Amino acid sequence: MTLIRKYFSCQIRKPSSFIRSLIGGHSTRKVVRKSAEKMAESTSSGIKRVLSIQSHVVHGYVGNKVATYPLQLLGFDVDPLNSVQFSNHTGYKTFKGPVSNEKELATIFEGLEENELLPLYSHLLTGYIGNPLFLRQVGHIVKKLRQANPGLVYVCDPVMGDNGQLYVPKELLPVYRDEIIPLADILTPNQYEVELLTEKEVRSEAAVWEAMDWFHKRGIKTVVISSSDLGQPGVLRAFLSQVNGPRLAIDIPKQGGKDLVFTGTGDLFASLFLAHSHDSKDMASVFEKTIASLQAVIKRTVAALPNGGNGPVKAAERELKLVQSKTEIEQPQVLLKAQRLN
């Protein structure tokens, strides 16, 4: 290994005359730096690139697997950095695969940094992370990315649980609350995650807005509660609040059988919201388009289920029909309108 490192070191320090002729006599490091500077200039003129740190599955659509495709369809380059690599999501009877640790995350990010790629990111998106030390390392990454690009937008989906069930180690909660949440520009928790973070029950709309204010006081400009059970029977209700901006709600009719649940919808919501909120000041439109595409994907998924999802459904059958919903992602048809509440 030492001989190999010396060989490559020599090649980099003393490129051949042929290589020098190709790069104008500059060193490889200078070429990389100049290339990065040019790309950074392009970024400021409209290039869109997301560093997405969340889970990966071989089969199915959650985490980076469900976030990447919609972002690409909507014009973003996406660099996925996986917090876990599982055979499938954890809703199956079994799952296998490794969980990344904070040292592996730091090493991968170090490679991006040493190649001077950090200025190229317009957005950071984070989702499922199962290791508190890994999550703490994300805090360092946010700060590094902001040093390289002060205009970076951080979209944080604090994936911890749903329907009263925590499915990450409880040690992640204080890291999210005290270290990660204050760094976010956009936060997309569900109702249960709001309760975990604020340590208060959210059982009314008044409690929703109190929770929104709790987040805003910690520096988060835009908070979207992607789903709640505060709607009428058979209807979910989503909420959005922006500092010095609108307070909005959208009623979302449930689809399929009453006990039918899907995995990955929150991850999809966060990626769609990131895409539609880029360079848009119309939060109602952003909210409506996000919900429109999400509901279209769910509708197509339900249509493919046995008996429309009324009855027992296997985990594999409930995987989101993402690729089949390409048109609905690219051209969302808004059917559910946002209600302005302030």
> Would you please indicate which residues are annotated as catalytic (active-site) residues?
267
Asked if 184 contacts 273 with a C-beta cutoff of 8 angstroms, the reply is: no
Residue 263, CA atoms < 13 Å, CB-side half-sphere: 24
Give the count of beta carbons closer than 10 Å to the beta carbon of residue 8: 10
Strands (E), 243-302: 247-253
From residue 253, alpha-carbon distances to 135, 237, 295, 299 in Å are 34, 9, 9, 11
Asked if 89 contacts 263 with a C-beta cutoff of 8 angstroms, the reply is: yes
From residue 5, alpha-carbon distances to 1, 9, 11, 300, 307 in Å are 6, 6, 10, 53, 61
Measured CA to CA, the distance from residue 224 to residue 247 in angstroms comes to: 10
- Phi first, then psi: give them for residue 90, nearest 5 degrees: -75, 0
Q: H/E element holding 46?
A: none
**Helix 132-148 and helix 102-114, axial crossing angle in degrees, nearest 10:** 10
